[in-house]
A and B are shown apart, each in its own frame.
Chain A
Amino acid sequence: MNHGPLIFLGILFTLALSWCGLVFAPQIQFGRQEVVNAKGQLYPPNRPGLAQQGGEVYRANGCQYCHSQQVQPKGLGADLERGWGKRYSVAQDYLRDVPVMWGNLRIGPDLTNVGLRRPDDETHTNRVWHFQHLYRPQITSPGSIMPPYPFLFEKRQVRRGQPASPDALPLIGQYKTELSYEIVPTSAARALVAYLFSLQSDTPLFEAPIPSEFTSGVDTNAPGAMSTNAVSPALTNAVAPASTSPPKQ
Chain B
Amino acid sequence: MGGADSLLPQIEASCRIPVLVFFTCGVAWLLFSLAFGLVASLKLHFPDFLAQCPWLTYGRVRPAFLNMFLYGFASQVALGVAIWLTCRLGRAPLISPVAVTCAGLFWNVGVKLGVYGILRGDSTGFSWLEMPRYAFPILFCSYALIGVLTLITFHERRERQLYVSLWYVVAALFWFPWIYSAGNLMLVFWPVRGVVQVVVNTWFTSSLKELWFGSIGVAAIFYFLPKLLERPLYSRYLALYSFWLVALFGSWGGIFIGAPLPKWIPAVSTMASVLMVVPVIAVAMNCYFTLGGEFKRLSQNSVLRFIVFGLAAYVFAGLLGALNVLAPVSAILRFTYFQDGLVILNLFGFFAMVMFGAIYYIVPRLTEQEWPSASLAKLHFWASASGILLCVVSLIAGGVQQGFALNESAVPFLDVLKITLPYLTGCTLGLILLALASAGFLCNLLWALARYACATCPCSERFASNAKPAITGVTR
The answer to whether A and B interact is yes
**A residues apposed to B, CB below 8 Å:** 1-4, 7-8, 10-12, 14-15, 17-19, 21-23, 26-27, 29-33, 59-66, 68, 70-73, 75-78, 81-82, 88-109, 137, 141-151, 207
Expressed in whole angstroms, the minimum distance between the Cβ of B391 and any Cβ of chain A is 15
Q: How large is the interface on B (under 10, 10 to 19, 20 to 34, 35 or more residues)?
A: 35 or more
Given contacts A96-B194, A106-B406, A151-B57, 5 further A-B contacts (CB under 8 A): A15-B207, A26-B196, A60-B60, A62-B123, A143-B418
The answer for the CA separation of A64 and B45 in the assembled complex, in Å, is: 19
Q: Which residues of B contact A21 (CB under 8 A)?
A: 252, 268
* Contact yes or no, B262 A14, CB < 8 A: no
For B322, list chain A residues within 8 Å (CB).
none
18 chain-A/chain-B pairs, Cβ below 8 angstroms: A1-B161, A7-B167, A10-B244, A11-B170, A15-B179, A18-B252, A66-B59, A70-B260, A72-B331, A72-B334, A90-B260, A91-B261, A100-B194, A105-B339, A105-B340, A137-B47, A150-B51, A151-B53
**Which residues from chain A contact B187 at a C-beta distance below 8 Å?**
99
Contact indicator A78/B408 (Cβ below 8 Å): yes
CA distance A108 to B29 in the complex (A): 30
Contacts of B244 in A (CB 8 A): 10, 14
Beyond A7-B170, A14-B244, whether A100 also contacts B198 by CB under 8 A is yes
Asked if B265 is an interface residue, CB under 8 A from chain A, the answer is yes
Report if B305 contacts A (CB, 8 A): no
Interchain CB contact under 8 A, A33 and B414: no
Closest to B340 in A: A105
CB pair A99–B409 under 8 Å, yes or no, is no
Task: List residues 38-62 of chain B with CB under 8 A from any CB of chain A.
Answer: 43-45, 47-48, 51-54, 57-60, 62
Complex contact B248–A14 (CB within 8 A): yes
Contact of B195 among A61, A76, A94, A207 (CB under 8 A): A94
**Per a CB cutoff under 8 Å, which of B127, B247, B414, B421 touches A15?**
B247
Q: Quote the shortest CB–CB distance from A243 to chain B (angstroms).
A: 51
What distance in Å separates the Cβ of A197 from its nearest Cβ neighbour in chain B? Answer: 20
A-chain residues with CB within 8 Å of residue B124 when the two chains form the complex: 59, 99
B197 interface neighbour in A8, A100, A105, Cβ under 8 Å: A100
B60: chain A residues at CB < 8 Å are 60-62
Interface residues of B in 312-358 (CB under 8 A from A): 327, 330-331, 334-337, 339-340
- Could you tell me the dominant secondary structure of chain A's interface residues? loop
Nearest first, the 6 closest Cβ-Cβ pairs linking A and B are: A62-B59, A81-B409, A60-B121, A18-B251, A99-B125, A14-B247
Contact B262 A22 (CB under 8 A): no
B203 near A: Cβ within 8 Å? Answer: yes
Which of chain B's residues have a CB closer than 8 A to the CB of A1? 161-162
Contacts of B184-226 to chain A: CB distance below 8 A? 186-187, 191-200, 202-203, 207, 211
| Nearest CB in chain A: distance from B255 CB, A | 8
| Contact residues of B between 400 and 450, Cβ < 8 Å to A | 402, 406-409, 413-414, 417-418, 421
* In the complex, B258 has a CB within 8 A of chain A: yes
Does the CB pair B417–A107 fall under 8 Å? yes
Q: Does B171 contact A (CB under 8 A)?
A: yes
Contacts of B417 in A (CB 8 A): 107, 143-145
The one of B47, B162, B182, B262 that contacts A3, using a Cβ cutoff of 8 Å = B162
From B52, B331, B336, contact of A75 by CB (8 A): B331
**Chain B positions near chain A (C-beta within 8 angstroms):** 43-45, 47-48, 51-54, 57-60, 62-63, 121-127, 160-162, 167, 170-171, 174-175, 178-179, 182, 186-187, 191-200, 202-203, 207, 211, 244, 247-248, 250-252, 257-262, 265, 268-269, 327, 330-331, 334-337, 339-340, 402, 406-409, 413-414, 417-418, 421
Give the distance to chain A from B417, nearest Cβ to Cβ, in Å: 6
The residue from A29, A61, A93, A141 contacting B260, defined by CB atoms under 8 A apart? A93
Tell me if A11 and B199 are in contact (CB < 8 A).
no
Q: Which residues of B contact A60 (CB under 8 A)?
A: 60, 121-123
Which residues from B are CB-within-8-Å of A26? 196, 199, 261, 265
| A209 smallest CB distance to B (angstroms) | 15
For residue B261, which residue of chain A has the nearest CB? A91
Knowing A14-B247, A22-B203, A91-B194, say if A7 contacts B331 (CB, 8 Å).
Answer: no
Indicate if the CB atoms of B175 and A15 lie closer than 8 Å.
yes
* A7 CB to nearest B CB, Å: 6
> Nearest Cβ in chain B — how far from A166, in angstroms?
25
CA distance A103 to B198 in the complex (A): 10
- Point out the residues of chain A lying under 8 angstroms from B62, CB to CB: 62, 65
Instruction: Please give me the residue from chain A that is nearest to B124 by CB atom.
Output: A99
Shortest B98–chain A CB gap in Å is 27
- Chain A residues positioned under 8 Å from B211 (CB to CB): 15
Q: Is B203's CB under 8 angstroms from A99's CB?
A: no
A75: nearest chain-B partner, CB-CB: B331
> Do A23 and B186 have beta carbons less than 8 Å apart?
yes
Option from B58, B170, B194 in Cβ contact (under 8 Å) with A33: B194
Name the distance in Å between A90's Cβ and chain B's nearest Cβ.
Answer: 5
- Name the B residues within 8 Å of A33 (CB-CB): 193-194
Contact present for A19 and B44 (CB under 8 Å):
no
Q: Is the CB of B260 within 8 A of A88?
A: yes
Give every chain A residue within 8 A of B174 (Cβ-Cβ).
8, 11-12
Say whether, besides A62-B123, A77-B334, A98-B197, A27 and B207 are in contact (CB < 8 Å): no
Residue numbers in A under 8 Å from B53 (CB-CB): 151
CB-CB nearest in chain A for B56: A147
Of residues A1, A62, A75, A98, which shows the largest number of chain B Cβ atoms within 10 Å of its Cβ?
Answer: A62
Interface contact B260-A89, CB-CB below 8 Å: yes
For A148, give the chain B residue with the smallest CB separation. Answer: B51
What's the Cα separation between A150 and B56 when bound, in Å?
A: 12
A62-B60, A101-B125 as given contacts; A68 in contact with B335, CB under 8 Å: yes
Among residues of B, the one whose C-beta sits closest to the C-beta of A138 is: B47
Q: A18-B207, A147-B43, A147-B51 are in contact. Are A76 and B327 (CB under 8 A)?
A: yes
Q: CA A29 – CA B174 in complex, angstroms?
A: 28
Contacting residues, chain A, for B167 (C-beta < 8 A): 7
State whether B337 touches A105 (Cβ < 8 A).
yes
Of A11, A68, A103, A137, the residue contacting B247 (CB under 8 A) is A11
> Measured between alpha carbons, how far is A96 from B340 in the docked complex, in Å?
29
* Max chain A Cβ within 10 angstroms of own Cβ: one of B60, B62, B199, B408: B199
Instruction: Give the contacting residue for A99; candidates B44, B191, B340, B408; CB below 8 A.
Output: B191
Chain A residues with CB under 8 Å of B406's CB are 77-78, 106
Closest to B338 in A: A105
A18 to B44, CA, bound (A): 37
